[in-house]
Structure 1
């Protein structure tokens, strides 16, 4: 089964549930949900790459840290992460390394929402019968 994310109704925030076959796919699908939430996607190709390395105290914190980092790149550095080129997640040590394809913001990129922060609200990464699940909530 392919990974997927499904938006859910959430008061004053953006929220979606993610289902994936691996922890890496869970992080990638969460990234896709973030990207869909912040920008009107048209045909843009990455012109650069950024590597991010993170260590956290839990898988949930690692996911929040990752999404907050790409959101920081967008809002502060004016760099939009368009695709995950490579990802490694160590679920036992709460480490990740990801290579992202990026593009600098320009007038052709239409931003939909400004996400203030990724929250821990209702976030719990579950592994049930070989599938991974999480709910992601963005504070807008």
Structure 2
């Protein structure tokens, strides 16, 4: 078996606690706020494509470099398709692949969880900050 298909002693695929585990590396890539935002924007547009500039406009705070790195990773992972029109300057379009569309639901559930519990998390942070500062 290769490392990407090896099974842990309990029979499940991968081992999240192993730094070399492919699952862990994938979670590192898809667990960022920029990935979550990009997938959301592209899923809302699906099956249509979205231009790079439109993605950047809709993802407040993302730099051109960070958006480029995020999209390169998603494209490499087979989650996003990239199409370039040979114009001056080139027009670059992105869309989710069928595999990328399957990521939208779990990320949406995580965003929903965060929205439902953010007030509790903020309260816990304030309590912790009070304890450590005084």
TM-score normalised by L of structure 1: 0.24
Larger Rg: 2
Higher relative contact order (CA 8 A, sep 6+): 1
The structure with the largest helix share of the pair is: 2
The structure with the largest strand share of the pair is: 1
